Amino acid sequence: MPETASGPPAARSRRRTALLAGGVLTAVAAVTAGVLAAAGSGGGRQQARTADGLRHTTVEVTSAHCGRGWTHPEPGRQVFELRNTSGAAAEVYLTDAKTGAVYGEVEGLAPGTERPIRVTLGKGAYAFKCLPDDADAVTGPTVQITGGNVRSGPAAVPVTQQQLIPPTLAYQKWIGARTVELANKTDVLRAAIDRGDLPAARAAWLPAHLVYERMGAAYGTFGDADSAINRTTAGLSGGVRDAGFTGFHRVEYGLWHGESAGSLRGPAGRLDQAVHALRDSWPDQRMDPADVGLRAHEILENTVQLELTGRTDYGSGTNLATARANLDGTRVLLGCLRPLLKTRDKDLSGLDSWMTRARRTLDGGEHDGHWTALDALPRAQREKIDADLGELVERLADVAALTDVRRTA
Protein backbone atom coordinates (compact mmCIF):
# COMPACT_ATOMS: atom_id res chain seq x y z
CA MET A 1 0.00 0.00 0.00
CA PRO A 2 1.15 3.62 -0.40
CA GLU A 3 3.20 5.28 2.31
CA THR A 4 0.95 7.16 4.77
CA ALA A 5 2.03 9.86 7.18
CA SER A 6 -0.24 10.81 10.04
CA GLY A 7 -1.61 14.27 10.56
CA PRO A 8 -2.84 15.99 13.70
CA PRO A 9 -5.44 13.84 15.52
CA ALA A 10 -8.37 16.05 14.52
CA ALA A 11 -7.48 15.72 10.85
CA ARG A 12 -7.02 11.97 10.64
CA SER A 13 -9.68 9.78 9.06
CA ARG A 14 -10.87 6.77 11.04
CA ARG A 15 -9.35 4.36 8.55
CA ARG A 16 -5.87 5.83 8.50
CA THR A 17 -5.78 6.22 12.26
CA ALA A 18 -6.42 2.48 12.50
CA LEU A 19 -3.70 1.73 9.99
CA LEU A 20 -1.17 3.88 11.82
CA ALA A 21 -1.89 1.91 14.97
CA GLY A 22 -1.26 -1.24 12.95
CA GLY A 23 2.32 -0.36 12.08
CA VAL A 24 2.56 2.19 9.27
CA LEU A 25 3.64 4.84 11.75
CA THR A 26 6.83 2.87 12.34
CA ALA A 27 7.86 3.42 8.74
CA VAL A 28 7.30 7.15 9.06
CA ALA A 29 9.24 7.31 12.32
CA ALA A 30 12.17 5.52 10.72
CA VAL A 31 12.50 8.39 8.29
CA THR A 32 12.36 11.08 10.95
CA ALA A 33 15.92 10.73 12.17
CA GLY A 34 17.28 11.37 8.69
CA VAL A 35 14.93 14.28 8.11
CA LEU A 36 15.97 15.98 11.32
CA ALA A 37 19.61 15.54 10.44
CA ALA A 38 19.02 17.37 7.16
CA ALA A 39 16.61 20.02 8.42
CA GLY A 40 19.27 22.54 9.24
CA SER A 41 20.51 22.70 5.64
CA GLY A 42 16.99 22.63 4.20
CA GLY A 43 15.52 25.49 2.21
CA GLY A 44 13.52 24.51 -0.81
CA ARG A 45 16.33 22.75 -2.60
CA GLN A 46 17.26 19.16 -3.41
CA GLN A 47 19.06 17.64 -0.43
CA ALA A 48 21.89 15.14 -0.32
CA ARG A 49 21.72 11.69 1.18
CA THR A 50 21.37 11.73 4.95
CA ALA A 51 21.96 9.34 7.83
CA ASP A 52 19.29 6.96 6.54
CA GLY A 53 21.15 6.57 3.24
CA LEU A 54 18.24 7.91 1.19
CA ARG A 55 17.95 10.93 -1.04
CA HIS A 56 15.80 13.70 0.49
CA THR A 57 13.90 16.33 -1.48
CA THR A 58 11.98 19.24 0.04
CA VAL A 59 8.69 19.85 -1.78
CA GLU A 60 6.47 22.88 -1.36
CA VAL A 61 2.75 22.53 -0.63
CA THR A 62 0.65 25.52 -1.69
CA SER A 63 -2.19 26.09 -4.12
CA ALA A 64 0.10 28.17 -6.32
CA HIS A 65 3.19 25.98 -6.12
CA CYS A 66 2.09 22.42 -5.43
CA GLY A 67 5.11 20.15 -5.80
CA ARG A 68 7.68 22.88 -6.38
CA GLY A 69 11.19 21.85 -5.43
CA TRP A 70 11.40 18.47 -7.15
CA THR A 71 13.78 19.47 -9.92
CA HIS A 72 16.27 16.58 -10.09
CA PRO A 73 14.19 13.38 -10.34
CA GLU A 74 16.00 10.10 -9.79
CA PRO A 75 14.79 6.50 -9.49
CA GLY A 76 15.00 4.48 -6.30
CA ARG A 77 13.97 4.57 -2.66
CA GLN A 78 13.77 8.19 -1.49
CA VAL A 79 12.17 10.64 0.91
CA PHE A 80 10.08 13.70 0.10
CA GLU A 81 9.79 16.28 2.86
CA LEU A 82 6.46 18.01 2.28
CA ARG A 83 6.52 21.57 3.58
CA ASN A 84 3.23 23.46 3.83
CA THR A 85 4.00 27.15 3.28
CA SER A 86 0.35 28.09 2.77
CA GLY A 87 -2.21 29.33 5.26
CA ALA A 88 -4.43 26.23 5.21
CA ALA A 89 -4.06 22.57 6.17
CA ALA A 90 -3.90 20.17 3.26
CA GLU A 91 -3.74 16.56 2.17
CA VAL A 92 -0.95 15.76 -0.25
CA TYR A 93 -0.64 12.79 -2.62
CA LEU A 94 2.27 11.72 -4.78
CA THR A 95 0.54 10.20 -7.80
CA ASP A 96 1.19 8.45 -11.07
CA ALA A 97 0.50 11.22 -13.57
CA LYS A 98 -1.20 8.80 -15.98
CA THR A 99 -3.22 6.46 -13.77
CA GLY A 100 -3.73 8.54 -10.64
CA ALA A 101 -2.33 5.73 -8.46
CA VAL A 102 -1.16 7.06 -5.08
CA TYR A 103 2.42 6.25 -4.06
CA GLY A 104 2.55 8.35 -0.91
CA GLU A 105 0.25 10.58 1.09
CA VAL A 106 0.20 12.96 4.02
CA GLU A 107 -2.96 13.94 5.84
CA GLY A 108 -3.67 17.09 7.79
CA LEU A 109 -0.41 18.85 6.92
CA ALA A 110 -0.83 22.04 8.95
CA PRO A 111 0.44 25.47 7.81
CA GLY A 112 4.12 25.96 8.57
CA THR A 113 4.77 22.27 9.19
CA GLU A 114 6.77 19.62 7.38
CA ARG A 115 6.26 15.90 7.13
CA PRO A 116 8.09 13.15 5.24
CA ILE A 117 6.90 10.36 2.99
CA ARG A 118 9.14 7.56 1.79
CA VAL A 119 8.53 5.96 -1.60
CA THR A 120 10.18 3.83 -4.26
CA LEU A 121 9.96 5.28 -7.78
CA GLY A 122 11.03 3.81 -11.10
CA LYS A 123 10.71 4.95 -14.68
CA GLY A 124 7.48 6.89 -15.19
CA ALA A 125 5.63 10.17 -14.85
CA TYR A 126 4.67 11.52 -11.43
CA ALA A 127 2.93 14.55 -9.96
CA PHE A 128 2.10 15.86 -6.52
CA LYS A 129 -1.55 16.65 -5.82
CA CYS A 130 -2.32 19.17 -3.08
CA LEU A 131 -5.82 19.22 -1.57
CA PRO A 132 -6.22 22.19 0.77
CA ASP A 133 -9.07 22.21 3.27
CA ASP A 134 -12.16 23.89 1.81
CA ALA A 135 -10.53 24.38 -1.60
CA ASP A 136 -10.22 22.56 -4.89
CA ALA A 137 -7.40 20.13 -5.55
CA VAL A 138 -4.33 21.38 -7.37
CA THR A 139 -2.04 19.11 -9.37
CA GLY A 140 1.59 20.13 -9.64
CA PRO A 141 3.89 19.76 -12.64
CA THR A 142 4.53 16.33 -14.10
CA VAL A 143 8.01 15.02 -13.34
CA GLN A 144 9.59 12.33 -15.53
CA ILE A 145 11.97 9.63 -14.32
CA THR A 146 13.66 8.12 -17.34
CA GLY A 147 16.42 5.79 -16.17
CA GLY A 148 17.14 2.88 -13.91
CA ASN A 149 15.74 -0.60 -13.43
CA VAL A 150 13.87 0.14 -10.20
CA ARG A 151 10.27 -1.02 -9.92
CA SER A 152 7.88 1.61 -8.57
CA GLY A 153 5.50 0.93 -5.74
CA PRO A 154 3.57 -0.01 -3.90
CA ALA A 155 0.72 2.23 -5.00
CA ALA A 156 -3.06 2.32 -4.78
CA VAL A 157 -5.44 3.40 -7.52
CA PRO A 158 -8.08 5.39 -5.61
CA VAL A 159 -11.56 3.94 -5.33
CA THR A 160 -14.70 6.03 -5.44
CA GLN A 161 -17.74 5.89 -3.21
CA GLN A 162 -19.72 4.73 -6.24
CA GLN A 163 -17.40 1.75 -6.80
CA LEU A 164 -17.90 0.62 -3.21
CA ILE A 165 -21.70 0.60 -3.41
CA PRO A 166 -22.10 -2.82 -5.16
CA PRO A 167 -19.91 -4.75 -2.67
CA THR A 168 -21.63 -2.97 0.21
CA LEU A 169 -25.09 -3.91 -1.06
CA ALA A 170 -23.98 -7.52 -1.57
CA TYR A 171 -22.68 -7.67 1.97
CA GLN A 172 -25.84 -6.05 3.37
CA LYS A 173 -27.90 -8.75 1.66
CA TRP A 174 -25.71 -11.45 3.21
CA ILE A 175 -26.12 -9.86 6.64
CA GLY A 176 -29.90 -9.83 6.17
CA ALA A 177 -29.89 -13.60 5.74
CA ARG A 178 -27.69 -13.98 8.81
CA THR A 179 -30.11 -11.97 10.98
CA VAL A 180 -32.82 -14.50 10.13
CA GLU A 181 -30.50 -17.38 10.96
CA LEU A 182 -29.49 -15.64 14.18
CA ALA A 183 -33.10 -15.19 15.28
CA ASN A 184 -33.87 -18.85 14.62
CA LYS A 185 -30.89 -20.12 16.61
CA THR A 186 -31.47 -17.69 19.46
CA ASP A 187 -35.08 -18.93 19.64
CA VAL A 188 -33.70 -22.42 20.23
CA LEU A 189 -31.46 -21.13 23.03
CA ARG A 190 -34.29 -19.27 24.71
CA ALA A 191 -36.67 -22.22 24.42
CA ALA A 192 -34.17 -24.55 26.11
CA ILE A 193 -33.79 -22.12 29.03
CA ASP A 194 -37.54 -21.57 29.27
CA ARG A 195 -38.15 -25.29 29.71
CA GLY A 196 -35.30 -25.61 32.19
CA ASP A 197 -33.05 -27.78 30.00
CA LEU A 198 -29.65 -26.27 30.77
CA PRO A 199 -27.55 -28.93 28.94
CA ALA A 200 -29.56 -28.20 25.80
CA ALA A 201 -29.11 -24.48 26.38
CA ARG A 202 -25.34 -24.87 26.64
CA ALA A 203 -25.40 -26.86 23.39
CA ALA A 204 -27.49 -24.16 21.70
CA TRP A 205 -25.50 -21.17 22.95
CA LEU A 206 -22.41 -21.52 20.76
CA PRO A 207 -24.16 -22.08 17.38
CA ALA A 208 -26.25 -18.96 17.98
CA HIS A 209 -23.32 -16.88 19.17
CA LEU A 210 -21.15 -17.86 16.21
CA VAL A 211 -23.75 -16.62 13.75
CA TYR A 212 -23.50 -13.19 15.35
CA GLU A 213 -19.70 -13.30 15.40
CA ARG A 214 -19.61 -13.85 11.63
CA MET A 215 -21.41 -10.53 11.12
CA GLY A 216 -18.61 -8.32 12.46
CA ALA A 217 -18.35 -5.87 9.57
CA ALA A 218 -21.91 -4.68 10.26
CA TYR A 219 -21.57 -3.96 13.98
CA GLY A 220 -21.17 -0.24 13.38
CA THR A 221 -24.54 -0.17 11.62
CA PHE A 222 -26.21 -2.18 14.38
CA GLY A 223 -25.90 0.75 16.78
CA ASP A 224 -27.30 0.07 20.27
CA ALA A 225 -28.34 -3.43 19.20
CA ASP A 226 -24.73 -4.59 19.39
CA SER A 227 -24.50 -3.76 23.10
CA ALA A 228 -27.81 -5.46 23.80
CA ILE A 229 -26.73 -8.59 21.95
CA ASN A 230 -23.03 -9.01 22.66
CA ARG A 231 -21.87 -6.71 25.44
CA THR A 232 -19.02 -7.63 27.77
CA THR A 233 -18.37 -6.31 31.26
CA ALA A 234 -15.85 -3.76 29.99
CA GLY A 235 -16.69 -0.39 31.53
CA LEU A 236 -19.33 -1.82 33.88
CA SER A 237 -18.61 -1.04 37.53
CA GLY A 238 -20.63 -4.02 38.72
CA GLY A 239 -18.88 -6.54 36.50
CA VAL A 240 -20.91 -9.67 35.83
CA ARG A 241 -23.50 -8.50 38.41
CA ASP A 242 -24.06 -5.18 36.68
CA ALA A 243 -27.56 -4.64 35.28
CA GLY A 244 -25.96 -3.39 32.07
CA PHE A 245 -24.33 -6.76 31.42
CA THR A 246 -26.63 -8.23 28.76
CA GLY A 247 -26.74 -10.44 25.72
CA PHE A 248 -24.88 -13.58 24.75
CA HIS A 249 -22.08 -13.16 27.27
CA ARG A 250 -24.51 -12.62 30.14
CA VAL A 251 -26.24 -15.86 29.24
CA GLU A 252 -22.86 -17.56 28.78
CA TYR A 253 -21.78 -16.55 32.26
CA GLY A 254 -24.91 -17.97 33.81
CA LEU A 255 -24.83 -21.23 31.86
CA TRP A 256 -21.23 -21.99 32.83
CA HIS A 257 -21.34 -20.69 36.40
CA GLY A 258 -24.18 -22.70 37.85
CA GLU A 259 -27.05 -20.23 37.58
CA SER A 260 -30.56 -21.67 37.52
CA ALA A 261 -32.79 -21.70 34.48
CA GLY A 262 -35.17 -19.39 36.33
CA SER A 263 -32.49 -16.74 36.80
CA LEU A 264 -31.52 -16.95 33.12
CA ARG A 265 -35.01 -16.61 31.63
CA GLY A 266 -34.88 -12.83 31.86
CA PRO A 267 -31.44 -12.39 30.21
CA ALA A 268 -32.27 -14.97 27.53
CA GLY A 269 -35.61 -13.33 26.81
CA ARG A 270 -34.04 -9.89 26.47
CA LEU A 271 -31.35 -11.30 24.19
CA ASP A 272 -33.98 -12.94 21.99
CA GLN A 273 -35.98 -9.71 21.80
CA ALA A 274 -32.89 -7.72 20.80
CA VAL A 275 -32.05 -10.23 18.09
CA HIS A 276 -35.57 -10.16 16.65
CA ALA A 277 -35.56 -6.36 16.71
CA LEU A 278 -32.30 -6.38 14.74
CA ARG A 279 -33.72 -8.82 12.22
CA ASP A 280 -36.85 -6.73 11.73
CA SER A 281 -35.02 -3.40 11.44
CA TRP A 282 -32.16 -4.51 9.19
CA PRO A 283 -33.95 -4.01 5.83
CA ASP A 284 -34.16 -0.29 6.65
CA GLN A 285 -30.47 0.06 7.57
CA ARG A 286 -27.76 1.33 5.23
CA MET A 287 -24.09 0.58 5.68
CA ASP A 288 -21.58 3.28 4.77
CA PRO A 289 -19.68 2.09 1.67
CA ALA A 290 -16.62 4.04 2.82
CA ASP A 291 -16.33 1.77 5.88
CA VAL A 292 -16.35 -1.70 4.34
CA GLY A 293 -12.63 -1.90 3.57
CA LEU A 294 -11.74 -0.77 7.07
CA ARG A 295 -14.06 -3.39 8.56
CA ALA A 296 -12.15 -6.12 6.72
CA HIS A 297 -9.15 -5.13 8.80
CA GLU A 298 -10.95 -4.35 12.06
CA ILE A 299 -12.73 -7.69 12.45
CA LEU A 300 -9.55 -9.69 12.95
CA GLU A 301 -7.76 -6.84 14.68
CA ASN A 302 -10.45 -7.09 17.37
CA THR A 303 -10.13 -10.87 17.31
CA VAL A 304 -6.45 -10.64 18.22
CA GLN A 305 -7.09 -8.07 20.93
CA LEU A 306 -10.17 -9.65 22.51
CA GLU A 307 -10.62 -13.30 21.58
CA LEU A 308 -7.01 -14.49 21.53
CA THR A 309 -6.38 -12.86 24.90
CA GLY A 310 -9.41 -14.54 26.49
CA ARG A 311 -10.91 -11.20 27.53
CA THR A 312 -14.33 -12.23 26.19
CA ASP A 313 -14.48 -15.69 27.77
CA TYR A 314 -17.24 -15.90 30.39
CA GLY A 315 -17.03 -19.63 30.97
CA SER A 316 -17.63 -21.50 27.73
CA GLY A 317 -13.96 -21.62 26.69
CA THR A 318 -14.91 -21.06 23.06
CA ASN A 319 -12.66 -18.15 22.06
CA LEU A 320 -11.06 -20.18 19.28
CA ALA A 321 -14.47 -20.96 17.82
CA THR A 322 -15.29 -17.25 17.93
CA ALA A 323 -12.01 -16.42 16.22
CA ARG A 324 -12.85 -18.94 13.51
CA ALA A 325 -16.26 -17.31 13.03
CA ASN A 326 -14.59 -13.90 12.78
CA LEU A 327 -12.31 -15.32 10.11
CA ASP A 328 -15.31 -16.68 8.20
CA GLY A 329 -16.94 -13.26 8.32
CA THR A 330 -13.77 -11.60 7.04
CA ARG A 331 -13.63 -14.05 4.14
CA VAL A 332 -17.21 -13.16 3.13
CA LEU A 333 -16.42 -9.44 3.14
CA LEU A 334 -13.25 -9.96 1.12
CA GLY A 335 -15.31 -11.91 -1.40
CA CYS A 336 -17.58 -8.89 -1.83
CA LEU A 337 -14.56 -6.60 -2.26
CA ARG A 338 -12.64 -8.94 -4.58
CA PRO A 339 -13.64 -7.23 -7.87
CA LEU A 340 -11.97 -4.03 -6.61
CA LEU A 341 -9.00 -5.77 -5.02
CA LYS A 342 -8.11 -7.85 -8.07
CA THR A 343 -6.94 -4.75 -9.93
CA ARG A 344 -5.33 -3.06 -6.92
CA ASP A 345 -3.79 -5.63 -4.58
CA LYS A 346 -0.75 -7.24 -6.19
CA ASP A 347 -0.45 -9.62 -3.26
CA LEU A 348 -4.07 -10.79 -3.20
CA SER A 349 -2.99 -14.39 -3.69
CA GLY A 350 -0.69 -14.03 -0.70
CA LEU A 351 -3.56 -12.71 1.39
CA ASP A 352 -5.67 -15.68 0.32
CA SER A 353 -2.88 -18.03 1.37
CA TRP A 354 -2.68 -16.46 4.81
CA MET A 355 -6.45 -16.66 5.20
CA THR A 356 -6.22 -20.39 4.50
CA ARG A 357 -3.28 -20.80 6.84
CA ALA A 358 -5.08 -18.99 9.66
CA ARG A 359 -8.16 -21.17 9.17
CA ARG A 360 -6.11 -24.36 9.43
CA THR A 361 -4.27 -23.07 12.47
CA LEU A 362 -7.52 -22.26 14.28
CA ASP A 363 -9.10 -25.55 13.26
CA GLY A 364 -6.29 -27.28 15.13
CA GLY A 365 -8.11 -26.28 18.31
CA GLU A 366 -11.29 -28.18 17.41
CA HIS A 367 -11.73 -31.91 18.02
CA ASP A 368 -14.98 -33.79 17.39
CA GLY A 369 -17.04 -30.63 17.67
CA HIS A 370 -15.39 -29.43 20.86
CA TRP A 371 -13.07 -26.42 21.02
CA THR A 372 -10.02 -26.30 23.28
CA ALA A 373 -9.99 -23.42 25.74
CA LEU A 374 -7.13 -20.95 25.33
CA ASP A 375 -5.58 -21.78 28.69
CA ALA A 376 -5.54 -25.48 27.80
CA LEU A 377 -3.55 -25.03 24.59
CA PRO A 378 0.11 -26.05 24.49
CA ARG A 379 2.32 -22.98 24.48
CA ALA A 380 3.69 -23.64 20.99
CA GLN A 381 0.19 -23.96 19.53
CA ARG A 382 -1.00 -20.76 21.15
CA GLU A 383 2.07 -18.89 19.90
CA LYS A 384 1.43 -20.14 16.38
CA ILE A 385 -2.19 -18.96 16.52
CA ASP A 386 -1.09 -15.55 17.74
CA ALA A 387 1.60 -15.27 15.07
CA ASP A 388 -0.57 -16.38 12.15
CA LEU A 389 -3.50 -14.15 13.08
CA GLY A 390 -1.15 -11.25 13.74
CA GLU A 391 0.41 -11.58 10.31
CA LEU A 392 -3.02 -11.76 8.70
CA VAL A 393 -4.11 -8.58 10.47
CA GLU A 394 -1.07 -6.79 9.03
CA ARG A 395 -1.95 -7.93 5.53
CA LEU A 396 -5.58 -6.89 5.93
CA ALA A 397 -4.39 -3.38 6.77
CA ASP A 398 -3.45 -3.14 3.08
CA VAL A 399 -7.06 -3.89 2.12
CA ALA A 400 -8.24 -0.99 4.27
CA ALA A 401 -5.72 1.33 2.65
CA LEU A 402 -6.45 0.19 -0.90
CA THR A 403 -10.19 0.68 -0.48
CA ASP A 404 -9.91 4.07 1.19
CA VAL A 405 -12.01 6.75 -0.52
CA ARG A 406 -9.58 9.59 -1.21
CA ARG A 407 -10.31 13.10 -2.34
CA THR A 408 -9.69 13.62 -6.02
CA ALA A 409 -11.00 17.17 -6.55
Is the Cβ–Cβ distance between 155 and 344 less than 8 Å?
A: no
Residue 21, helix vs strand vs coil: helix
Determine the pLDDT at residue 35.
30
Residue 398 has pLDDT above 60, yes or no: yes
What is the C-alpha to C-alpha distance for residues 229 and 340, in angstroms, rounded to an integer? 32
Determine the pLDDT at residue 46.
52
What is the C-alpha to C-alpha distance for residues 180 and 40, in angstroms, rounded to an integer? 64
What is the C-alpha to C-alpha distance for residues 310 and 303, in angstroms, rounded to an integer? 10
Residue 231 has pLDDT above 90, yes or no: yes
What is the C-alpha to C-alpha distance for residues 250 and 243, in angstroms, rounded to an integer? 10
Q: Mutual orientation of helices 248-255 and 198-213 as an angle, nearest 10°?
A: 150
Using alpha carbons, list the distances in angstroms from residue 208 to 201, 220, 315, 346. 10, 20, 16, 37
Helix (H) or strand (E) holding 77: strand 76-84
Determine the pLDDT at residue 51.
74
Residues 6+ apart with CB under 8 A from 73: 121, 126, 143, 144, 145
Q: What does the pLDDT look like over 59-86, one tens digit per residue?
A: 999 989 999 999 999 999 999 999 999 9
Q: What does the pLDDT look like over 149-194, one tens digit per residue?
A: 999 988 888 899 999 999 999 999 999 999 999 999 999 999 999 9
Q: Which residue has the higher pLDDT, 31 or 403?
A: 403
Average pLDDT over residues 356-380: 96
Residue 48 pLDDT class (50, 70, 90 cuts):
low
Residue 338 pLDDT class (50, 70, 90 cuts):
very high
Q: Which residue has the higher pLDDT, 391 or 49?
A: 391
Determine the pLDDT at residue 139.
95
Q: What is the mean pLDDT of the chain?
A: 88
What is the number of helices (H) and of strands (E) in the chain? 12, 12
What is the C-alpha to C-alpha distance for residues 196 and 108, in angstroms, rounded to an integer? 58
Q: Please report, for the chain, the start and end positions of each structural domain, with discontinuous segments joined by +.
A: 3-145, 161-402
Tell me whether strands 76-84 and 55-61 are parallel, antiparallel or unpaired. parallel
**φ/ψ bin of 27: left (φ > 0), alpha (ψ from -120 to 50), beta (otherwise):** alpha
Determine the pLDDT at residue 275.
98
Residue 49 pLDDT class (50, 70, 90 cuts):
low
Determine the pLDDT at residue 146.
93
Quote the radius of gyration of the chain (alpha carbons, Å): 25
Task: Using alpha carbons, select from 119, 107, 128, 130 the residue that is nearest to residue 11.
Answer: 107
Domain spanning 161-402: which superfamily? Answer: M75 peptidase, HXXE motif (1.20.1420.20)
Residue 334 has pLDDT above 70, yes or no: yes
The answer as to CATH 2.60.40 being correct for domain 3-145 is yes
Determine the pLDDT at residue 217.
93
Q: What does the pLDDT look like over 8-34, one tens digit per residue?
A: 333 333 334 333 223 332 223 233 333
Is the Cβ–Cβ distance between 103 and 119 less than 8 Å?
A: yes
Q: What does the pLDDT look like over 271-322, one tens digit per residue?
A: 999 999 999 999 999 999 999 999 999 999 999 999 999 999 999 999 999 9
Average pLDDT over residues 348-366: 97
Residue 314, helix vs strand vs coil: coil
Is the Cβ–Cβ distance between 6 and 107 less than 8 Å?
A: yes
Residue 1 pLDDT class (50, 70, 90 cuts):
low
